[in-house]
Structure 1
């Protein structure tokens, strides 16, 4: 792995059921994630995806791409646009630095040509001893 290497993209279409499951797991029941009347009164047409879900996708991309030896040490991200129920998020990332076992990755979560979040992941890579049969 070297600077400039791209991570495989991660794509997720977020349906209402996904949003309800995430809200249940995080105890975030804000009305903007499910209440259509509340949303309409605020000029929104669909439920808004919880921004922390985008952070979870950034973390998932790193872990899926680098495997079980990767330990996400820090993930900083900034939300830049809303994502709505039914939209497909595509997470991309590129390695920007490798220093021994430390890897830095810049990431983007986009819906079509709209960037919804940007982030930087700092990962520690380590080797695990092979499991023995004894």
Structure 2
């Protein structure tokens, strides 16, 4: 039985340029900041920027991996704090903050493993396990 304070297993993922291109193809988001060095250089960006939608997918994946294929997210929200670049590794963490009515409320965060900067917070979801 899941209880308030339970920790969601971490999801750690290195996001490579090939992953970003595949995601862009799936979502039809071809903004040049996600792949084009000629666009990035004059803007002072060191590498392609990970599409923000990827973080929502990772947060959902983290919970789905933990609770299994029958779990259903009913709400998901997140706010960006810092850019994440191709080749960086992110860690998704989470804690159950409420239970009741057949739902779990989970507070989540995403940080960049290489330097600890917070990429996404606050973040969280409601899920029907």
Both structures adopt the same fold (TM-score exceeding 0.5):
yes
Structure 1 residue corresponding to 2:117, chosen from 94, 114, 121: 114
Taking structure 1 as the reference length, the TM-score comes to 0.91
Mark the structure with the bigger radius of gyration. 1
Distance 1:97 1:69 in 2: 20
Q: Which runs of 4+ in 1 moved over 4 A?
A: none
Taking structure 2 as the reference length, the TM-score comes to 0.94
Distance 1:8 1:63 in 2: 11
Aligned partner of residue 9 in structure 1, secondary structure: strand
Instruction: Say how many residue pairs are matched.
Output: 125
Aligned partner of residue 28 in structure 1, secondary structure: coil
Query: Deviations for 1:6-28, whole angstroms, at most 9, x for unmatched residues?
Result: 01000110001000000000000
Structure 1 position 88 matched with structure 2 position 89: yes
**Cα drift, residue 37 of structure 1:** 1.2
**Cα drift, residue 124 of structure 1:** 1.2
Structure 1 position 68 matched with structure 2 position 69: yes
Aligned partner of residue 107 in structure 2, secondary structure: strand
